[in-house]
Structure 1
């Protein structure tokens, strides 16, 4: 059940993961370096703390890609070693969950800032303390429970197997728990993002005072969060649902192999999120972009204006969301 049904296709998946890893690792590492040594995020506003944790989650997730690529190149959907497989799933559940969580929290914060400016809310009170990020990481740990249970089989949820009835019941419970975690960590944040995005776009469009260029850019950026989230996460979620339906309904082995292959491919594509997050969330601010270029690509910076702007913004970068500055 963990063997790749079509080796050339899985080799292609492995190449895609290697390319994502090569491109995303230095990009995320440079942003991480900027926030630690240049911005000193712990002394800055809480939005920078959220962004730091978002990039940290992405860069930790990236370290799983070489292992996944190695498995695919050797004709395996997952490692034959159960310990390695469960460790990979632990990293995937924790860091992808953290990435989505910090994205969602940042979007909620931007929602209150744009739609309800000045209104007191719990998030605004909590975000003043950097410990909120630690709390979010700790709250995500229970989501990794299905990957640590003895009866859990990697890549094999609700797969019919011969065995004792009692073991089969326990396995079904564990598998169901894992699938609930998989779907809820994507569907619930997606609903929240849709709500926040729609209200933010409506608020920005009704705004009549201010720079129209900035307002148009803000609408474009806040809309792109939904586009990227939809492209990266929704397709693999739908593919997972189709795969489970085929398994539960005891469909033919051929259809199940095709569904599993499509799911693995869309999961591979979803790792593009690690590459897109820094580009969208970090560079949505012209000030952050200027600071990044002045530190890592100074030959691209023209004149002293951008340099002075970037140095001025080092202590307080605008919120790292696609809604940018308004």
Structure 2
């Protein structure tokens, strides 16, 4: 295979994207920059509270998982300037590209993994509180967190081994090598399996809360809203992105260049949408707690403090 010829073909596709879709890709870049600014602002302030106010390492099991979730989102956001740049330009530095890809695969995977572990922990705390053995294992949050980071670090290595992986999505067709196959298996597994786990846990938690709740409709509605919102955000941010990726892989080599260009543009747009998860995670998980929300507002938004009405603490297994 003539590698230089493939590189030239890829550069032509990328240059075509810039010439004919300039406004679209500038819009994509602007969206990424906006997500970066808002995401960092929210995640950094939240992680500041975890470290300096809540001292998460001495706190509840759920707080350690939440801290790692926010940390994964911050590390993912750090790579967004490269993504924004590559939406506007078709030039890249190979080392920077691979580092950005590694951060993207690792930290998106970590964000999904910790989100899933939190849902499983809440599921057992609410639905099966008597299964003390499982809960004892889940309460080993420091060990579980280290295991997740190490495992994902190993599984992410294939994303950096392929020399022709590019920071933009207008890449040349790949041969189905073992590394490519492993990379795609990891990619789809870490999205679809957690989604089904989240759906199952959410349904069982809602059913259990309906059985336990007697008269406290406000608390029940808040808990149900939180649980369903997590599934909704996950579905909106990741499922279209993953499905489009599957279509892109399936149609590689079976479509005209114009059709492939359309799929590439759609995929790029859904990547922007997937980064929205970094902005919504702190809101759904951290600020859903009345205690954490009041602490956050008192420190960063004190002018809203007088508008916050006392709320009963929500109990969805955050033990």
TM-score range for the pair, normalised by the shorter chain length: 0.7 to 0.9
CA distance in 1, matches of 2:278, 2:179: 29
Spell out the pairing of 1:1-326 with structure 2 (5 A cutoff): 1=10, 3=14, 5=17, 6-74=21-89, 76=90, 80-154=92-166, 155=169, 159=173, 168=175, 172-209=177-214, 211-248=216-253, 250-302=254-306, 323=316
Secondary structure, counterpart of 2:251 in structure 1: helix
CA RMSD, Structure 1 to Structure 2 (Å):
2.5
CA distance in 2, matches of 1:325, 1:132: 17
CA contact (8 A) 1:285 1:325 kept: no
Gap change, CA 1:19 and 1:238, over 3 Å in 2: same
Gap change, CA 1:126 and 1:205, over 3 Å in 2: closer
CA contact (8 A) 1:152 1:174 kept: no
CA distance in 1, matches of 2:92, 2:110: 27
Deviations 1:167-209 (A, max 9, x none): x5xx632222221111111011011111101111111122243
CA distance in 1, matches of 2:196, 2:190: 11
List alignment gaps of at least 5 residues for structure 2.
1-9
CA contact (8 A) 1:20 1:275 kept: yes
CA contact (8 A) 1:111 1:200 kept: yes
CA contact (8 A) 1:201 1:219 kept: yes
CA distance in 1, matches of 2:31, 2:248: 22
CA distance in 2, matches of 1:303, 1:89: 43
CA contact (8 A) 2:124 2:135 kept: no
CA distance in 1, matches of 2:67, 2:206: 26
CA distance in 1, matches of 2:23, 2:309: 52
CA contact (8 A) 2:56 2:67 kept: yes
CA distance in 2, matches of 1:192, 1:287: 28
CA contact (8 A) 1:90 1:144 kept: yes
Gap change, CA 1:135 and 1:203, over 3 Å in 2: same
Deviations 1:55-79 (A, max 9, x none): 00001111111111111122x3xx5
CA contact (8 A) 1:218 1:324 kept: no
CA contact (8 A) 1:221 1:324 kept: no
Cα distance, 1:217 vs. partner?
1.0
CA contact (8 A) 1:14 1:69 kept: yes
State the number of aligned residues: 302
Gap change, CA 1:325 and 1:87, over 3 Å in 2: closer
CA distance in 2, matches of 1:181, 1:64: 20
Secondary structure, counterpart of 2:130 in structure 1: coil
TM-score for the superposition, normalised by structure 1: 0.85
CA distance in 1, matches of 2:64, 2:136: 14
TM-score for the superposition, normalised by structure 2: 0.87
Cα distance, 1:152 vs. partner?
4.9
CA distance in 1, matches of 2:266, 2:170: 15
CA contact (8 A) 1:214 1:325 kept: no
After TM superposition, which residue ranges in structure 1, 4 or more long, deviate above 4 angstroms? 155-158, 303-306, 323-326
List alignment gaps of at least 5 residues for structure 1.
161-167
CA distance in 2, matches of 1:254, 1:172: 26
Cα distance, 1:284 vs. partner?
1.0
Gap change, CA 1:269 and 1:304, over 3 Å in 2: closer
